[in-house]
A and B are shown apart, each in its own frame.
Chain A
Amino acid sequence: EADIYQTPRYLVIGTGKKITLECSQTMGHDKMYWYQQDPGMELHLIHYSYGVNSTEKGDLSSESTVSRIRTEHFPLTLESARPSHTSQYLCASSEDDRSGQPQHFGDGTRLSIL
């Protein structure tokens, strides 16, 4: 099993709240990713980081923000949650997926905004 952890696993919260989804990995990987997965299964890359103090937006526009202050930690924040943010969020890390190294995934956070 890969050592990448996401908390919380489930979160039900009201509109307008600030939310932070946590993701930590103990493998020392430089590269980390956040995906949003709809109920119909498709994964969309929303943010990624290639190292400390490096963050990039992914293919899917998202109102969330990320930070990468430490190698092992890549939190995702929603400043003001809305029902449209309801989804599953998956975090992953890799040595270098561009060169064929696999991504290691956490088990996700299922977020429901009321």
Chain B
Amino acid sequence: SQQGEEDPQALSIQEGENATMNCSYKTSINNLQWYRQNSGRGLVHLILIRSNEREKHSGRLRVTLDTSKKSSSLLITASRAADTASYFCGSSGNTPLVFGKGTRLSVIA
């Protein structure tokens, strides 16, 4: 399987805390994308990082990429209850995106 892994599988934090989730992938990539999925909905694109980049920021999101370790992390700062969702990374080489298993984030108000 080309599926990557995310950890943790589930994360529960208090509002205002930072949330960090990690993603590993198996093959060489051109880019890696992070998505969010609210319950009962489709995935929504959050942020892209290309293979020649090491870090990207977008609002409260910070993504890092370590191609030597085939891993990425997503940091959500100052979390809010509305950030409660599942988060997936998708990696792409010359194939369609391969998604990891996801991290289920719960932010408690």
Report whether A90 and B92 are in contact in the complex, using a CB–CB cutoff of 8 Å: no
0/1 interface trace, chain A 82-104, chain B, CB 8 Å (1 if under): 00000000101000011110111
Q: How far is the CB of A87 from chain B (nearest CB, A)?
A: 14
The size bracket of the interface on A is 20 to 34
Q: How far is the CB of A77 from chain B (nearest CB, A)?
A: 20
Q: Beyond A48-B96, A99-B30, is A59–B1 a contact (Cβ under 8 Å)?
A: yes
- The verdict on B65 contacting chain A, using a C-beta distance below 8 Å, is no
From 58 to 99 in chain B, residues with beta carbon under 8 angstroms from any chain A beta carbon are: 86, 88, 90, 92-99
Report whether B94 and A42 are in contact in the complex, using a CB–CB cutoff of 8 Å: no
| Total count of chain B residues near the partner, CB < 8 A | 31
Q: Beyond A41-B101, A41-B102, A103-B43, is A97–B96 a contact (Cβ under 8 Å)?
A: yes
B interface with A by C-beta (< 8 Å): 1-3, 30-31, 33, 35, 37, 40-45, 48, 50, 86, 88, 90, 92-102, 104
Return 29 A-B CB contacts under 8 Å, by A number.
A33-B96, A35-B99, A41-B37, A41-B86, A42-B3, A42-B99, A42-B100, A42-B101, A43-B43, A44-B3, A45-B98, A45-B99, A59-B1, A59-B3, A97-B90, A97-B97, A99-B30, A99-B31, A100-B30, A100-B48, A100-B50, A100-B92, A103-B35, A103-B43, A103-B97, A107-B40, A107-B42, A108-B40, A108-B41
